[in-house]
Amino acid sequence: MNRPWTLLLLAWLVATTATLSALFLGEVMGMTPCVLCWYQRIFMFPLAIVLGIAAYLDDRRGAIYALWLSFGGLAIAAYHTLLVAGLIPKAWVPCSAGVSCADQKLEILNGVQIPWLSLAAFMALALLLIVYLRKSSR
């Protein structure tokens, strides 16, 4: 992995996989996302496009834009994860009507909940982009 471009490609694959997974859960499985899930989607969906263009052009500026989007999604995913884990008081739940943000019903891989997967995806994106930006500045 001597070429920094491969890091952009990996980041694009992570963002595209997360985007397609969210669309599968919502459109195919019929699961309505909660408010915090919608906010995370707002940050993730453009990442698939921005990182695709950045990887195609090997564009450092696209990676910078994507890094800020991944930080925003990471903050919301961390808050959502803490909420689901019960470490944030239920009074701070932003979901007043509709699907609950605190009570997640879907578990994958024997107990891993969707907010944890979102947090992992945003963390992976942030790390890949930071390493790419460091390597490409040399």
DSSP characters over 97-112 = SSS-SS----EETTTE
List pLDDT tens digits, range 33-73: 888 888 999 999 999 999 999 999 988 999 999 999 999 99
List pLDDT tens digits, range 6-16: 999 999 999 99
State yes or no: pLDDT of 104 exceeds 70.
no
Mean pLDDT for the stretch of residues 102-110: 68
The residue among 54, 56, 46 whose CA lies nearest residue 15 is 46
Instruction: Specify the pTM.
Output: 0.88
The residue among 68, 69, 136, 83 whose CA lies nearest residue 113 is 83
Can you give the pLDDT at residue 85? 83
